[in-house]
Amino acid sequence: MLTDTFGRRFYYLRLSITDVCNFRCQYCLPDGYQCDHDRQFLTLPEIRNVAQTFASLGTEKIRITGGEPSLRKDLPEVIKTCKQTPGIKQVAITTNGYKLPEMLPQWIDAGLDTLNVSIDSLDTKQFNLITGHDKLDTILKGIDIAVAHPNLKVKVNTVLMRNFNYQSLEQFLAWVKGMPISLRFIELMQTGDNTTFFDEQHVQGEEIKQYLLANGWSEQIREKTAGPAQEFYHPDYQGTIGLIMPYSKDFCATCNRLRVSSLGKLHLCLFAEHGHELRELLTEADSETVAAHITSLMSDKKVSHFLQDKLTGATKHLAMLGG
């Protein structure tokens, strides 16, 4: 089992397979994707090696991220490769859902367990303003298809922004009342490229937490492979609400996840100063050697990110590592 010097155990790998994204979200890539490196992303054999190595170290869950992972034509094979790895119990994906109705059946056939879709507004015009794309109706149609599948967990991610969607809380709650999904509000995080936007738009999730607790919602117990969300349920609602609050006290105390970038670097934290090169080992070494190297790097993991000090590390934008 992978552990760090603070006694935290790591069951969960976030695996980026591309940093390319076709959306232009205000908080991430407002000017669109700008390539500043060779686009030699992890190959399927390298991804297989990553999955096998981390599974041997106790990883039980792999989340496939981007950029936008569905831009890779071999995404169904990536899902299948991860799902068929002994020891991996859950495969998830985070996507903008721009072709969800068309692509989802292939992902489910490949073994997908959990679908996370980013929807930052339920208003068509506002969604277009935030993302640069008029795709909300298509994405919501895909959500309906996903919810109808009995073995698929469905989550929706919403980044909180004061002047874009913060006033739409009641609209989101009304949607969740009849929709059996987990809707997670994510605090806007500062990155290297969005400092001004962050200062103008950041909203603390604690405000929503207190609202939920005052209106009949109760907190759920987290599973060991769960992400960082605090989950809340209400007896009158089919769906649940999650809050991801990286600026809250002790947020990092329950950290259980590591990240591998689409270029084959191990990132011990989303906001680490740098990644650790794995790619040469993935192509040349056996899995035991790769596992030993990863284990040795765990002593470098810090007790916390330093976002509260406005230190964002090497993360210029969230598409670099998929959040």
pLDDT tens, 267-296?
999 988 889 999 989 888 788 999 999 999
Q: Where in the chain are the domains? A: 12-320
pLDDT surpassing 80 at residue 297: yes
pLDDT value at residue 273 = 83
Q: pLDDT class for 114, splitting at 50, 70, 90?
A: very high
What CATH code would you report for 12-320?
A: 3.20.20.70
Cα 21 to Cα 131, 142, 155: the distances in Å are 11, 19, 20
What is the structure's pLDDT at 241? Answer: 97
Residue 169 confidence (pLDDT) above 80: yes
Q: Quick one: pLDDT band at residue 232, thresholds 50, 70, 90?
A: very high
CA distances from 65 to 162, 167, 211, 302 (A): 26, 29, 31, 23
Note whether 155 and 181 are within 8 A (CB).
yes
- Average pLDDT of the residues of the chain: 93
